[in-house]
Structure 1
Amino acid sequence: MTQTACPIAEGEILLQTLVMPDPAICGEADLYVHRDTGVALELESGALRFAEGGTALFGTYMNLFNLGVWSRACALGGLAVRLSGEGRVAAQITREKALHDAEILAETMIDLSPDGVTLDLFHALGGDAEGLPPQTGLLKLRLVAHGPARLDSGGFVARPQDGPREVRLAVAITTFRREREVAATTERMTAFLDREGDRLGAEAHLFVVDNGGTAEIAPHPRVSRVENPNLGGAGGFARGLALAQDGDFTHCLFMDDDASFQMENLVRTIAFLRLARSEAAAVSGAMISEARKWMMWENGAVFHRMCRPQFVGTDLRNGVAVSKMELAAAAPKPPGFYGGWWFFAFPVAQARRFPFPFFVRGDDISFSLAHAFDTVTLNGVVSFQEDFSAKESPLTLYLDLRNHLHQHLVHPHLEIGPTGTTRIAMHFLLRSIIRMHYDSAEAQLAAWEDVMRGPEFFEENADMSKRRPEISALARDEAWKPMPDAAPLPASKEPPRWWGQLMKLTLNGHLVPLWSRLAGAAEVAPAERGLIWPLWGKARVRFRDAQGRGYEVTHDKVRFARIMWRALKLARRWRRAYPELRAAHREGYERLAARDFWETHFPEATPASVAQREPVPAQ
């Protein structure tokens, strides 16, 4: 889909476009516009066609304007809505100051024009010669057609209070043998930059850091393919940051190779970075699961003993739920807030640390915790991709526990001592045991042991070439395999609360004699694989996907006893060694989260196209 560009006048900056569904990315129309039967969407052009009386509401996750975020963080010397099309419509803009507390900010009849019609909001919001003061609330547009009409494009535009900040954006995409996905992402981005790059007012260049050496990227002046050893996401993004520094870029955007997103992400991110008052302004993109494109998976996250995704489960089709989330998004971020590297833009000059060599999992947490970025989330800046529960395996759980323990050892403001960190390790282990995922529990014990080896372990295993297959080999019962002929098992039903509490007390029957005879069996859908309640009261559980691949886990008290015995011995060792471990890891962090460390792993050759990138003139 190629949507018509929103017209902007000289000296204006397009803050965000009224974006429409793109079936190739997300076809959940209620995330974009709420409309009655008098409004039809042209999927190819993104235009809305109105019959007389047709009504369209744009107070959605993709298209509301978060006045609180933009006015507090950015120097705005003007603010307006620009609409283009044909026909006569009644336009109303409301401001929702708090949940269920909205006021009409502007309301007028307009005759749409292909050249664009402007609804000024600046003075209605108290703007003056000193600019727009910090505001609260969400701006929502409503259109009602008075006769046949067509909306081709629209958006929120602004004039900067002072000269906009210069933005030269290095986009670092780390990939490993996902040739089709990274080629498609690169092609979509370059096509957009070729078409709209001049209007963005910023230079942008893509660095495809190819950890697998197999990516085939079409030659383009805005793209450099960079071969890199397989150092995981941490090494790939470290290479991207180094290239951003060497290329004199002002900002860097870290992106996953399989991230699927509309190009509006770039429009809003670049506009925000150009207008931000803070030198440390950063943008964290949200993430939505490909399996449930109507539900928020993570709108930023907080690291407080555990990773705590923000607003997980929010139904983005529900206007009240979206308003609640976005009103909260305008508040200062809590301590420990971090952004996922599926989409994270930050100022290069503020990067005092490089990624820590976790290989994958935890590098984005560590990077945010080590920097004082002024990070925001912007509604509609979101990536659609496979969620973490779908990717869960003994290896990923090994990596998760390893980084959780390391974060608490290294960052002084996370200090919780040997008892607190032991509780974290036991929490991970018991979650796996309760779910009868003993392979995963054994991998987590290995993670605990590896952290106790000190920072030298991470230094020697930056590429995980030796340790990764050893951990993957632990997946015996939890290895996915074809099982098309397996007899179906009953589906799990969510139990009452009291039953869940009882199962917690018994560790899901591990403390109950003869549990294998007393408990039942169930089959769990892939969408519920990361949950615990489907396994309550079960002694055998099968996980199977739509392609007939899956695995089964069964209750095993002998393995449970062996794992707990190992865990208790490790906890004793951990408590004794904790002061020395903490000191060693903090010293090692200074050495390993540094460019000097990574340069010993990078190839000597630097792509010549870094210096040959074509500049895009700023507006």
Structure 2
Amino acid sequence: MVIQNFLFPDEVCDVQEVYFRTTGMVDRIRDSIKLSAGEVLRTDTYMNVLNIGHWKKYTVLEEILLELQVQGHFRLYIELLGKEKRKELIYEQEYHLESPETICVCIPEEIKDGILYWKICAKSAVQYYGARYVAEDFKGEKDIKFALNICTYHRQQQLQKNIQKISESLFFQPKTEMYGQMKIFVADNGQDFTSPIQKGYLKILKNSNDGGGTGGFTRGLEEIKKEQQVHHYTHVIFMDDDVEVQVESFYRLYAFLSLLKTRYQDRPIAGRMFRLDNRNIQYTAVERWNKGNIIHIGGNLDMRLQESILEEESTGDYGGWWFCTYPIQCILQERPFPFFIHCDDVEFGLRQQKETLTLPGVQVWHETYEYRINPIIIYYDIRNTLVVNALWGKAEDGNAFIQEWKGRLTEFHNSERQDLKYFCTLAMWHFCSGRIFRKSKGRIPRQCVWLSKKDTILKFVTPLFHRITENRVKKQYLQIVKKYKEDYRKNYGSTS
């Protein structure tokens, strides 16, 4: 089984140092690299290093082969990079190959930790064609089958590009190991998505946008559950419609889950998120909720740098639905909380009460929060964070809770933003009642959006609205939290 292919820069991310390093200029001819005498090609990079410690910790992987296809006269080194950048030479050999050949090197089984990479030092002209790490004589391989759950809303172009790319992958090519091991479900909330691909592995579900993104993902999950007895999916991947993705992420995830140790088989796997505007920057690997003050594990790292791939912490509380994988047996009886948008992935992840894992090389490129922020998004963030903390944040201190909320109001007041003051108050009011999630499926009412644009009215309305809301919270906070937990236990499960 191939556990990792060598990647070249592509249209998703063309930053060379994320893939390989060289001592000079190299010629790339399609998916190959030409080295001149004296030049060096190294793979101590995010995309092409093998985190052998990660694989050995979480999987049953024992023997690993490195396969390289090369032509020319060169010296090959395989090195292990450990903590504090300690290097250890694992293998060294000189080759003189008159024609392209595949070199196979067995990695010593006793290596249990560290980051593995190789380098080629050219003695004369060398042509490098590719490499991969292969699992040999592995035990306990599991049959993995993905259900890819996508929600879309008026994003025809990017979604079609992703579906086309995935449809050309090994999952849909006969006589390959992965053939038939994925089906794509698209919940089309805009009811305008059409695809030229008319295949049984792609199911487009016309869906109302009344429940927003949460409703779309919920619809996809419901359809997946209906097919479970026939298709026997093992994992559901939640993925946004506007990400950019490489198919290698699916291949590595497939191999990782196939070899996962029994004690980790109930763990979600978070896909990392890289920035669209600066594609060598990892925005986050996985998240810790921290009562809404989110901690991005591996946040804002420049993945061109060697030290960035030596991350010590790679697990968290939950993964964002830009790309996150769940074992289906853990979520068969569940559905997302009706937030409309924002925090649905947070609550769903926290509900699992399992450590969320990551895997280097499994990531998407996505627009970051600062490009999406607007008054309505702020409303959803404030309201939904309050709900998540009521359920999972252990926020029993009503005074601290109120002070934090008033701090946001002061911030918006100082910036003279009447709309934000109103939305901040409205978010708390809707949190207190809870009816918004039952009556409107979590969606902010249209009349509230209309009122938010009337500054003259808000100057008189919001101060009174704020005082009424604050008084209600002070008197009823503990009862409000108790009611959320009671309703949650009835409809979603325990919060213990």
Q: Confirm or deny: 8 A CA contact 2:212 2:340 kept in the other structure.
A: yes
Q: Distance in 1 between matches of 2:36 and 2:140?
A: 43
With over 3 angstroms needed to count, the CA separation of the structure-2 counterparts of 1:145 and 1:446, relative to structure 1, is same
Gaps of 5+ in 2: none
The DSSP-based 3-state class of the residue aligned with 1:355 is coil
With over 3 angstroms needed to count, the CA separation of the structure-2 counterparts of 1:560 and 1:53, relative to structure 1, is farther
**1:109 Cα deviation (Å)?**
2.7
> What residue number does 2:69 align with?
84
Q: How many residues were matched structurally? A: 481
Q: Distance in 1 between matches of 2:8 and 2:415?
A: 41
With over 3 angstroms needed to count, the CA separation of the structure-2 counterparts of 1:439 and 1:467, relative to structure 1, is same
CA RMSD in angstroms comes to 2.7
With over 3 angstroms needed to count, the CA separation of the structure-2 counterparts of 1:432 and 1:220, relative to structure 1, is farther
With over 3 angstroms needed to count, the CA separation of the structure-2 counterparts of 1:117 and 1:374, relative to structure 1, is farther
> Quick one: which of 117, 128, 150 aligns to 1:151?
128
Q: Distance in 2 between matches of 1:59 and 1:51?
A: 20
> What residue number does 1:390 align with?
371
With over 3 angstroms needed to count, the CA separation of the structure-2 counterparts of 1:88 and 1:434, relative to structure 1, is farther
With over 3 angstroms needed to count, the CA separation of the structure-2 counterparts of 1:223 and 1:387, relative to structure 1, is same
With over 3 angstroms needed to count, the CA separation of the structure-2 counterparts of 1:162 and 1:429, relative to structure 1, is farther
- The TM-score with structure 1 as length reference comes to 0.72
Q: Confirm or deny: 8 A CA contact 2:274 2:363 kept in the other structure.
A: yes
> What residue number does 1:268 align with?
252
Matches within 5 A, 1:183-202: 183-192=160-169, 193-195=171-173, 198-200=176-178
Question: Percent of counterpart pairs with the same letter?
Answer: 22
> Quick one: which of 94, 104, 115 aligns to 1:109?
94
The DSSP-based 3-state class of the residue aligned with 1:155 is strand
The Cα offsets for residues 492-531 of structure 1, whole Å up to 9 and x where unpaired, read as: xxxxxxxxxxxxxxxxxxxxxxxxxxxxxxxxxxxxxxxx
Q: Confirm or deny: 8 A CA contact 2:78 2:116 kept in the other structure.
A: yes
With over 3 angstroms needed to count, the CA separation of the structure-2 counterparts of 1:583 and 1:80, relative to structure 1, is same
**1:158 Cα deviation (Å)?**
1.2
Matches within 5 A, 1:133-532: 135-159=112-136, 161-192=138-169, 193-195=171-173, 198-200=176-178, 203-218=181-196, 219-230=198-209, 231-248=211-228, 249-277=233-261, 278-306=264-292, 307-323=294-310, 326-329=311-314, 333-334=315-316, 337-351=317-331, 352-411=333-392, 414-433=394-413, 436-454=416-434, 456-462=435-441, 464=443, 467=445, 470-471=448-449, 474=452
**1:52 Cα deviation (Å)?**
1.6
Q: Distance in 2 between matches of 1:251 and 1:59?
A: 31
Q: Distance in 2 between matches of 1:452 and 1:376?
A: 34
> What residue number does 1:520 align with?
none
Q: Distance in 1 between matches of 2:192 and 2:134?
A: 42
The Cα offsets for residues 290-336 of structure 1, whole Å up to 9 and x where unpaired, read as: 1111222111111012222223221222222332xx3332xxx35xx
**1:422 Cα deviation (Å)?**
2.4
Q: Distance in 2 between matches of 1:142 and 1:382?
A: 25
Q: Distance in 2 between matches of 1:220 and 1:584?
A: 46
The Cα offsets for residues 251-291 of structure 1, whole Å up to 9 and x where unpaired, read as: 10010011101111101111111111122133211112211
**1:567 Cα deviation (Å)?**
4.5
Q: Distance in 1 between matches of 2:305 and 2:131?
A: 23
**1:119 Cα deviation (Å)?**
1.6
The Cα offsets for residues 337-364 of structure 1, whole Å up to 9 and x where unpaired, read as: 1100011011000115311100110000
Q: Confirm or deny: 8 A CA contact 1:356 1:592 kept in the other structure.
A: no
Gaps of 5+ in 1: 1-12, 126-134, 478-555, 595-619
The Cα offsets for residues 554-612 of structure 1, whole Å up to 9 and x where unpaired, read as: xx9x9899867754653332131112211211122245548xxxxxxxxxxxxxxxxxx
- The TM-score with structure 2 as length reference comes to 0.89
Aligned-partner residue type, residue 437 of structure 2: F
Q: Distance in 1 between matches of 2:339 and 2:475?
A: 25
With over 3 angstroms needed to count, the CA separation of the structure-2 counterparts of 1:68 and 1:38, relative to structure 1, is same
The DSSP-based 3-state class of the residue aligned with 2:420 is helix
The DSSP-based 3-state class of the residue aligned with 2:307 is helix
With over 3 angstroms needed to count, the CA separation of the structure-2 counterparts of 1:152 and 1:574, relative to structure 1, is same
